Chains A and B, each alone.
Chain A
């Protein structure tokens, strides 16, 4: 895990503005899955349109980073930008004719779920690196126990129990975030 991955969005924005290429790489890394999911799962864009929107989102973020009034508002800004560009893409391709109300409702529901997934992913970054790796490889990359075991050099018989343990830690982390007044989570 790089030091940059522990920066807040606001800190990351400030470093990007200062011309730090590594910070920009981290910003793209941090939001790439989210933008991709909104395009492909949220708005169901085809690969080509999704790629165009994906690149346009980051182009605009890069170009207009100076105009962001609240550095901490990076995520809602990227979310709004991505949604707007997806809608523009659909309008250009004439798909709006097919966008009847139930479909729009589906999209809205999917976007809420993607936002929720992003929050879970943020919480994941608070877990030990081995947990991040195991959960990401198993759930987001569909890797088998065998592959995870080989790649992380862990006994294959322990992968299932590690996944269960890491999920519990993730749940605890999220519950802790939702109950800040409760004090220590340990």
Chain B
């Protein structure tokens, strides 16, 4: 079916993705947990919610959350939708 030369060609096709991309994808569960925690807190704490709406990044930094662009994007969307 495959000669060894062809196998080499096929092995060359699947090169490693950039490590930073892989790591970011692997960190998705942690980012999701962080997002759920922020949303739950925003629902329970009106002051925190207003701070998020006023200045999302500053409010998160003040609350001790790490900056994560995916979390920020989704929070912006959720706050806009609510």
Interface residue ranges, A against B (CB under 8 Å): 19, 21, 24-25, 28-29, 32-37, 41, 51, 54-55, 58-59, 62-63, 113-114, 116-118, 120-121, 124, 135-136, 139-141, 164, 167-168, 170-171, 174-175, 178
Contact = CB atoms under 8 A, between A and B. Distances in A.
Main secondary structure of the interface of B (DSSP, over half): helix
Specify which of B1, B14, B15 lies most central, judged by the most chain A CB atoms within 10 Å of its CB: B14
Contact of B2 (A28, A141, A174): A174
Interface of B: 1-4, 7-8, 10-18, 21-22, 24-26, 28-30, 32, 70
Given A29-B22, A139-B11, A36 B1 contact: no
Contact of B28 (A59, A113, A141): A59
Contacts of B26: 24-25, 28-29
Nearest to B16: A33
Contacts of A58: 25, 28
